[in-house]
Amino acid sequence: MRKSNQNKLMKKDQYSLLKEKIKSKEFNSVFVLLDENTDKYCLEIFINKSGINTYNKIVIKSGEENKNIDTCISIWKELNSHKADRKSLIINLGGGVLTDIGGFVASTYLRGIEFVNVPTTLLGMVDAAHGGKTGIDFLSLKNQIGVFSMPMYVILDSDYLKTLSKQEYLNGYAEIFKHSFLTNSTDLNFDSLIKLDFFSDIDFIINKYSHIKNKIVKVDKHESNIRKILNLGHTIGHALESYSYLSNNLNELKHGEAIIVGLITELYISNQLNNFPLKKVDKLKEVSLKYFDKIRLTDSDLEAIYDLMTFDKKNNKGSVNFVLLDKSGKPLIDQKVDNDIYIKAFAYYSE
């Protein structure tokens, strides 16, 4: 009971801070960026909680396929037509796609205006809205164009999750699993995480598991080094996600659906190359397959995904760099993985 009251108080504080800043005339104008869904389901909640009543609304189309330069151009135009200036504020109310594009648009308008992220999906709350990676897709490649730019702050409020389908909700869990493998805290590691209730413990999960990311990002804002560990599961996961958009063989995958496959296969590779305990990989596979459908991939799918990996922006000169875990679970960056181990990992995933 007390814990839940604390959470409520914390949520309220976040909105008060924002309202105060706006009231104190630190900003000349306020823009709320929405997509079709958050306009319909989240704006009212946000307005009620924040009490902000003077703002311009910009609504973009939902979906990763609209995270592109044309959408940026349309937002820049709207900002321009409402005479947004250097002291305007953009509030990004939406999922990862919206906070990515909203952060990029804000960071490039007049060489950068302030923005606040209010993630409305679990994925956004524990991952996408944090850390300053902004950007858009370009030529079917994810986040090819963008900048590193930190939001002024991020408002975390699980009440928005009530607006999501169960599938949308679960989409965030891949990153939560990932973060559980990247913490030293025995209270938050994978073994502890799976003892929690994925629904009723959600406030605790959002606060603790987003904090794991923020701690890592803080020491390496531009992904020169340590931050790379956050790419665990993403070498394969990203390529699989891109492939699902490019190929007709596969339905388009949600980010979390692809990352969970990346996580399982890359932890299996960690087992094969570094003796990371197979028991943990088995457990991850078991738990995640309760929530996520297994993706069926053919040999030619796997070949195409491998080719895409060689063009991920984190890789230099055609070689593929993985983040793997060592025997004790410590992350190792810039690890090379041969194609045969990659194939073997998918055999393990599929069996």
Footprint of its own copies on this chain (CB under 8 A)? 28, 69, 73, 76-77, 80, 83, 85-87, 107-112, 133-135, 138-139, 141, 143-148, 222-223, 311, 313-318
- Which CB atom, from 201 or from 223, has the smaller least distance to its own copies? 223
> Which of 224, 99, 100, 198 is closest to 155 using CA atoms?
99
- Which CB atom, from 87 or from 330, has the smaller least distance to its own copies? 87
For residue 228, which amino acid is it?
K
Q: For 30, which DSSP code?
A: E
What is the spatial distance between Cα 176 and Cα 209, in angstroms, rounded to a whole number? 6
> CB of residue 102 vs its own copies: minimum separation in angstroms?
15
> CB of residue 33 vs its own copies: minimum separation in angstroms?
16
What is the spatial distance between Cα 292 and Cα 275, in angstroms, rounded to a whole number? 26
> CB of residue 292 vs its own copies: minimum separation in angstroms?
29
What is the spatial distance between Cα 206 and Cα 211, in angstroms, rounded to a whole number? 8
> Which of 155, 137, 45 is closest to 89 using CA atoms?
155
Q: Are 116 and 83 in contact (CB under 8 A)?
A: no
- Which CB atom, from 16 or from 144, has the smaller least distance to its own copies? 144
What is the spatial distance between Cα 23 and Cα 40, in angstroms, rounded to a whole number? 26
> CB of residue 83 vs its own copies: minimum separation in angstroms?
7
Residue 290 belongs to what H/E stretch?
A: helix 278-291
Instruction: Tell me the three state secondary structure of residue 26.
Output: coil
Instruction: Tell me the three state secondary structure of residue 180.
Output: helix
* CA distances in angstroms from 274 to 7, 19, 231, listed in the order given: 40, 50, 18
Strand 29-35 to strand 88-94: parallel, antiparallel, or no bridges (unpaired)? Answer: parallel
- Which CB atom, from 143 or from 272, has the smaller least distance to its own copies? 143
> CB of residue 323 vs its own copies: minimum separation in angstroms?
16
- Which CB atom, from 109 or from 322, has the smaller least distance to its own copies? 109
Q: Are 279 and 193 in contact (CB under 8 A)?
A: no
> CB of residue 50 vs its own copies: minimum separation in angstroms?
22
> CB of residue 8 vs its own copies: minimum separation in angstroms?
36
> CB of residue 141 vs its own copies: minimum separation in angstroms?
7
- Which CB atom, from 17 or from 69, has the smaller least distance to its own copies? 69
What is the spatial distance between Cα 32 and Cα 91, in angstroms, rounded to a whole number? 5
* CA distances in angstroms from 66 to 185, 279, 299, listed in the order given: 38, 40, 30
- Which CB atom, from 287 or from 333, has the smaller least distance to its own copies? 333
> CB of residue 101 vs its own copies: minimum separation in angstroms?
13
- Which CB atom, from 49 or from 133, has the smaller least distance to its own copies? 133
What is the spatial distance between Cα 63 and Cα 94, in angstroms, rounded to a whole number? 11
Q: Is 183 exposed, middle or buried (0-12, 13-18, 19+ CB in 10 A)?
A: buried
- Which CB atom, from 112 or from 249, has the smaller least distance to its own copies? 112
Place of tokens 């990989």: 281
